[in-house]
A and B are shown apart, each in its own frame.
Chain A
Amino acid sequence: MKNEEAPRPQPVTLSSDLLLRPFTWLLGLADYILLPLQKLIGPQRMAYFFVLPNLLIFGIFILLPMILNFYYGFTSGNSILLENRPFVGTTNLERLLTCADYLNPKTCSEDLFWRGAFNTATFVVGQVTAMILLSLVTALALNRPVVGRGFFRAMFFYPVLLSPVVVALIWKWILQYQYGLLNAILVAVGLQKIPFLLEAGWAQFWVIAISVWSQMGFFTLILLAGLQAIPKEMYEAASMDGANKWQSFRAVTFPLLMPTMTVVLVLALIRAVQVFDQVFVLTNGGPGTATLYIVQYIYRTGFEFRNYGMAAAASLVLAIVLLVLTVGQLVLSRRQEAA
């Protein structure tokens, strides 16, 4: 991630200045309390004061839960209170990971988890492949000198801003069986209506398609930034050497875009593994368990069946997968930097 290239300071406009005035006034007022504090502890230790609020919230609501998650994962019972949960060791994890035949979720002691794991794997492969390809093609198209580039970029990016609930409802309405737009188009060209969200295969397809629709603008933007960072001279040099378009793509664009591609790939993977909210609204895991993914398994097991131990154990497994992906990214980008 290129955080060094943050935007340069710009003059603050008059309107935002007026808007900010009450806040600057409050911040100025705080000095009357903080100056004595500084005299008391010394200017260097004020650093602790600056870091404290953020660290406190961070510790209580992110770090502490991360640690507690282990406790939940190794205890059982229906109580959410820690003192009422008997320690059971790795029982939850064992139950979660035991299968007679790992390729057949039905033979697993926690078949819903494995169903979710399989569905998530299929989703991740399909969604990430489709999204990276489409994002790359779009970024390449937008990197050409086209008229209305800003307009097209905005169009492709817009769905990224929509909330998962809104995205799901927009598409639920389009895919609706009786009155939906898509079925109207199918009928108009002489085909049969399809119950898109009630047939397992179609539901899985649309969950992927909608997820790509709502996220690809983000990845397009990052890839576009990567493409624009490639110096023009490289292409000029390639064409002077007599390279055609395809050759200069292979010799210049592709290798120079690789670092960005790695970031995009890992980010996409990490997000895809966590697929939940859109699908929760769109199909709620259905039909049957066709679109039930890991996070929904955790949500269901924890908040509907109140089996906190199993849910936390599944969270641990998910955390490990995410950890592997993150470390993978670090290793990959280190290797690329070294090369």
Chain B
Amino acid sequence: MNSILTFLGRRHGGDKLDMTDVITYLYLLLGAVIMFGPVVWLILSSFKPLDSLYEFPPTFLPYRREKITVAGYDQPLDLYDVTMPDGSVRRLAQISQVGIGARMIDPAAPDGTVIDVKIDQRKPVHSIHFEFANYTGAIQGFPFLTYLQNSVIVTVVATLITLLINSMAAFGLSKYQFRGRDAIFLIIISTLMVPVSVILIPAFLVIAKVGWANNLWGLIIPGAATPTGVFLLRQYMLTIPDDLLQSARIDGASEWRIYWQIILPLAGPALAVLAIFSVMWRWNDFLWPLIVVSKTELFTLQVGLNAFQGELNQQWNYILAMTVLTLLPITIVFAFLEKYITTGIATTGMK
């Protein structure tokens, strides 16, 4: 214990661990539990069978009631540890329960001797068990895979389109002089703070007029012209020296070639940040798909999950399993790109 404290207390200046350090660590540890604990609880719960989900108080780890098949009985019987009158503990299977008494049988000696015990003398036998049936049931019993497919299509296609058209616009706005350039940039910037919620009704009308209500394109295209992306990429491209473009022009490169062979590779880091943002936005998007799509077969994961939790009020085992599956992809992305995501957000101030 002492060595741990000295380890934790090791600091640049070689000072001792003081009170502020202790408070800092306590705060951070408590914070980590509060921030991540709920997700751990969700994952553990998602592996519990339905009957133990509805047990109070809940257990921390997923357990299963041990059952045993005894010759002469059709159904598997519940196993109990029973404290016998002489103080010894025997593992017995319960045949039936009558009032405060229970009729038990020894599974090791199934000759039919029925043992009567009081119910407060027995304890159910549990063992740790991860119930994957929640997951298989959720995937098979509901159009989960369709939702997953829609979410993946929307996320991937939308991110590619976003990267392409935002970088094109950023290139045009940062490397050319033309009439109306500053006006265009200003209009785009001024909508940085316009959320979907403010244009909900007319945006829906436009989608309906274009014929994209109940169409995945209606989810993909409108959000592709992100002001955030144009802004981020333009600021980055401004740092690319114009001489590079000039010498390429002298070598006979077309403007398009300059865009995709010089600008795009150089803007790689900014594109990566935008790609991560776009994946996050699209995967987690809820309000927009909720409005545009009303056919079940076009639901994204988020909308589908919301629809489930409305319908399957009592089937939390499936809801929990599906929630875990929904958060899994973004969690994996985060695990691999944590540094990139956090620095990207810290430097741009955007999410």
Q: Are A184 and B343 in contact (CB under 8 A)?
A: no
Q: Are B206 and A68 in contact (CB under 8 A)?
A: yes
Q: Which residues of A contact B42 (CB under 8 A)?
A: 169-170, 173
Q: Are B197 and A218 in contact (CB under 8 A)?
A: no
Q: Which residues of B contact A163 (CB under 8 A)?
A: 283-286, 302, 326-327, 330
A184-227 interface code vs B (CB 8 A; 1 in, 0 out): 10011000000000000000000000000100011001101100
Bound-complex Cα distance A311 to B28 (A): 44
A30 shortest CB reach to chain B, Å: 6
Q: Are B45 and A6 in contact (CB under 8 A)?
A: no
Bound-complex Cα distance A280 to B291 (A): 13
Q: Are B256 and A31 in contact (CB under 8 A)?
A: yes
Bound-complex Cα distance A27 to B203 (A): 31
Q: Are A318 and B284 in contact (CB under 8 A)?
A: no
Q: Which of A24, A55, A146, A179 makes the CB contact (< 8 A) with B53?
A: A179
Q: Are A169 and B305 in contact (CB under 8 A)?
A: yes
Q: Are A155 and B284 in contact (CB under 8 A)?
A: no
The reply on B85 being an interface residue by CB < 8 A is: no
The reply on B268 being an interface residue by CB < 8 A is: yes
Q: Are A66 and B194 in contact (CB under 8 A)?
A: yes
Chain A, residue nearest B42 (CB): A170
A287-339 contacts to B (CB < 8 Å): 295, 298-299, 302-303, 308, 311-312, 315, 318-319, 322-323, 325-326
Q: Are A60 and B206 in contact (CB under 8 A)?
A: yes
Q: Which residues of B contact A280 (CB under 8 A)?
A: 306
Q: Are A158 and B39 in contact (CB under 8 A)?
A: yes
The reply on A235 being an interface residue by CB < 8 A is: no
Bound-complex Cα distance A280 to B329 (A): 23
Q: Are B31 and A58 in contact (CB under 8 A)?
A: no
Chain A, residue nearest B240 (CB): A9
Bound-complex Cα distance A38 to B172 (A): 14
Q: Which of B199, B255, B316 makes the CB contact (< 8 A) with A62?
A: B199
Q: Are A162 and B201 in contact (CB under 8 A)?
A: no
The reply on B32 being an interface residue by CB < 8 A is: yes
Assuming the contacts A155-B32, A298-B197, asked whether A53 and B323 have C-beta atoms less than 8 A apart, the reply is no
Assuming the contacts A7-B273, A158-B334, A165-B286, asked whether A174 and B38 have C-beta atoms less than 8 A apart, the reply is yes
Q: Which residues of A contact B266 (CB under 8 A)?
A: 9
Q: Are B35 and A156 in contact (CB under 8 A)?
A: yes
Bound-complex Cα distance A191 to B335 (A): 39
Q: Are A53 and B347 in contact (CB under 8 A)?
A: no
The reply on B34 being an interface residue by CB < 8 A is: yes
Q: What bracket does the count of chain B residues touching chain A fall in?
A: 35 or more
The reply on B249 being an interface residue by CB < 8 A is: yes
Bound-complex Cα distance A64 to B209 (A): 12
Interface size on A, residues (CB 8 A): 118
Assuming the contacts A158-B36, A163-B327, A303-B291, asked whether A50 and B197 have C-beta atoms less than 8 A apart, the reply is no
Q: Are B201 and A311 in contact (CB under 8 A)?
A: yes
A-B contacts, CB under 8 A, total: 331
Assuming the contacts A50-B168, A66-B194, asked whether A9 and B269 have C-beta atoms less than 8 A apart, the reply is yes
Assuming the contacts A155-B35, A163-B302, asked whether A50 and B169 have C-beta atoms less than 8 A apart, the reply is yes
16 residue pairs of the A-B complex, CB under 8 angstroms, read A3-B236, A10-B268, A31-B256, A46-B176, A57-B165, A57-B225, A65-B199, A144-B20, A147-B8, A163-B326, A187-B57, A213-B35, A213-B38, A303-B200, A319-B194, A322-B195
Not counting A47-B181, A62-B191, A163-B284, a sample of 7 additional A-B residue pairs whose C-beta atoms are within 8 angstroms of each other reads: A3-B231, A51-B184, A68-B205, A166-B305, A169-B319, A263-B349, A274-B197
What 3 pairs between A and B have smallest CB-CB spacing?
A: A50-B172, A47-B176, A68-B202
* B binding-site residues for A, Cβ under 8 Å: 7-8, 10-12, 20-21, 24-25, 27-28, 31-32, 34-36, 38-39, 41-42, 45, 53-58, 160, 164-166, 168-169, 171-173, 175-178, 181, 184, 187-188, 191, 193-195, 197-208, 210, 221-225, 227, 230-232, 235-236, 239, 249, 254-257, 259-260, 264-266, 268-270, 273, 280, 283-287, 291, 302, 305-306, 309, 316, 319-320, 323, 326-327, 330-331, 334, 338, 341-351
* A binding-site residues for B, Cβ under 8 Å: 1-10, 12, 23-24, 27-28, 30-31, 34-35, 38, 43-51, 53-55, 57-58, 60-69, 71-72, 80-82, 137-138, 141-142, 144-147, 150-166, 169-174, 176, 178-179, 181, 184, 187-188, 213, 217-218, 221-222, 224-225, 245, 263, 267, 270, 274, 276-277, 280-281, 295, 298-299, 302-303, 308, 311-312, 315, 318-319, 322-323, 325-326
